[in-house]
């Protein structure tokens, strides 16, 4: 089995003619068991890079392999089947579905929506995942009445029903308040504790949104990799100031990161 969960070589993506590339010559490797932050200013190329990593977008140049396979692999070997994606805004489902049904139907598919019987073992697994992520009490609640933060944790449980080997989180807590954000970050830590081989990539605008499990980071600036490697070597004052073209002060403590604009002298 390949030790790489994601490999990109010379990846470029071009926008409209005359504009700078959305991504330019990106080389990036995420190994199994690593937890990466993907950071950069607005327009740096983060969302484009994550879509390519998920197989949702094909690069104009370069090669991509996920979990040892290219995305054009046929059948059950296609890596898309083993990748989980959590978006910034949770999906909307039929109003009558409960949280437990939403999580269970990750495996059973559309049949669950039509009222087909869900296997008891699948229900038990879904219930256990909800408990792991601190939302077991929501199992019988209608998904439509859950808060944004609750829905994100439900989506995390739903993604884990497939036993993904690579989990991509696209600004998963950007729309959450402080309490919901911290609950979601705790859920990600619980996920990693229960799946030591999984690799994760978390896109974040703010370093405060990164879970403590992050151990690597890639910093984008105008579509290019400004720095990549161990988080402590990448997420520092010098690199962030260059990436955001502003004086940024970075602090790290208790496993968490924080960035603020540096105070003006005098």
Nearest to 29 by CA among 64, 60, 62: 64
Place of tokens 């830590």: 189
Residue 113: which pLDDT band, with cuts at 50, 70 and 90?
very low
Is residue 148 pLDDT above 70, yes or no? yes
pLDDT of residue 20: 77
Burial per residue of 91-108, b for 16 or more beta-carbon CB atoms within 10 angstroms, e otherwise? eebeeebbbbbbbbbbbb
Mean pLDDT taken over the chain: 89
Tokens linked to 133: 């992520």
Give the number of other Cβ atoms within 10 Å of residue 83's Cβ: 24
| Range with the poorest average pLDDT among 13-17, 93-97, 178-182, 226-230 | 13-17
Is beta strand 4-13 parallel, antiparallel or unpaired with respect to 83-86? unpaired
**What number is the average pLDDT over the span 70-91?**
87
Is residue 114 pLDDT above 50, yes or no? no
Residue 1: which pLDDT band, with cuts at 50, 70 and 90?
low
CA 69 to chain centre: 20
pLDDT of residue 112: 44
End-to-end CA, the chain:
57
Q: Encode pLDDT of 210-223 as tens digits.
A: 999 999 999 999 99
Share above pLDDT 90 across residues of the chain, in percent, rounded to a whole number: 70
Residues 125/132, Cβ–Cβ less than 8 Å: no
Q: What is the pTM of this model?
A: 0.89
| Range with the poorest average pLDDT among 17-21, 127-131, 140-144 | 17-21
Tokens linked to 82: 């083993």
Q: Is 230 exposed, middle or buried (0-12, 13-18, 19+ CB in 10 A)?
A: exposed
Distances (CA, A) of 108 to 33, 97, 255: 28, 14, 38
Residues 102/158, Cβ–Cβ less than 8 Å: yes
Residue 51: which pLDDT band, with cuts at 50, 70 and 90?
very high
Q: Encode pLDDT of 22-32 as tens digits.
A: 999 999 999 99
Map residue 120 onto helix, strand or coil.
helix
Nearest to 23 by CA among 9, 36, 34, 35: 9
Residue 179: which pLDDT band, with cuts at 50, 70 and 90?
very high
Place of tokens 């993904």: 164
**What number is the average pLDDT over the span 80-99?**
86
Q: In the 8-state DSSP scheme, what is residue 220?
A: E
Pick the CATH number of 4-89+163-261 from 3.40.718.10, 3.40.50.300, 3.20.20.80, 3.40.50.2300: 3.40.50.300
**What number is the average pLDDT over the span 35-47?**
94
Residues 160/200, Cβ–Cβ less than 8 Å: no
Q: Encode pLDDT of 152-171 as tens digits.
A: 999 999 999 988 999 999 99
| More confident site: 88 or 221 | 221
Beta-sheet strand order (sheet of 83-86): 83-86, 166-170, 199-204, 35-40, 216-221, 224-230
Q: Encode pLDDT of 193-205 as tens digits.
A: 989 899 999 999 8
Is residue 111 pLDDT above 50, yes or no? no
Is beta strand 61-66 parallel, antiparallel or unpaired with respect to 83-86? unpaired
pLDDT of residue 95: 78
Residues 32/165, Cβ–Cβ less than 8 Å: yes
């Amino acid at each position: 089995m390949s030790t790489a969960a994601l490999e990109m070589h010379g990846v470029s993506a071009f926008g409209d003619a005359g504009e700078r590339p959305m991504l330019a010559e990106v080389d990036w490797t995420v190994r199994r068991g690593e937890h990466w932050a993907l950071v950069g200013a607005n327009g740096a190329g983060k969302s484009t890079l994550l879509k390519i990593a998920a197989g949702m977008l094909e690069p104009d140049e370069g090669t991509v392999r996920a979990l040892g396979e290219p995305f054009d692999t046929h059948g059950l070997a296609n890596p898309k089947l083993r990748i989980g994606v959590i978006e910034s805004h949770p999906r909307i489902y039929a109003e009558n579905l409960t949280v437990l049904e939403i999580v269970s139907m990750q495996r059973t598919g559309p049949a669950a929506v039509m009222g087909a019987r869900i296997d008891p073992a699948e229900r038990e697994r879904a219930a256990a995942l909800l408990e792991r992520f601190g939302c077991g009490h929501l199992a019988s609640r209608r998904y439509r009445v859950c808060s944004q933060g609750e829905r994100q944790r439900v989506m995390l449980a739903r993604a884990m029903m497939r036993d993904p080997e690579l989990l991509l989180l696209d600004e998963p807590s950007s729309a959450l308040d402080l309490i919901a954000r911290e609950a979601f970050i705790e859920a990600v830590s619980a996920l990693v504790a229960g799946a030591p081989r999984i690799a994760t990539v978390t896109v974040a605008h703010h370093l405060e949104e990164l879970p403590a499990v992050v151990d690597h980071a890639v910093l984008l600036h105008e579509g290019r990799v400004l720095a990549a490697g161990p988080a402590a070597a990448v997420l520092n004052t010098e690199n962030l100031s260059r990436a955001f073209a502003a004086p940024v002060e970075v602090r790290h403590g208790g496993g968490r990161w924080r960035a603020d604009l540096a105070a003006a002298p005098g």
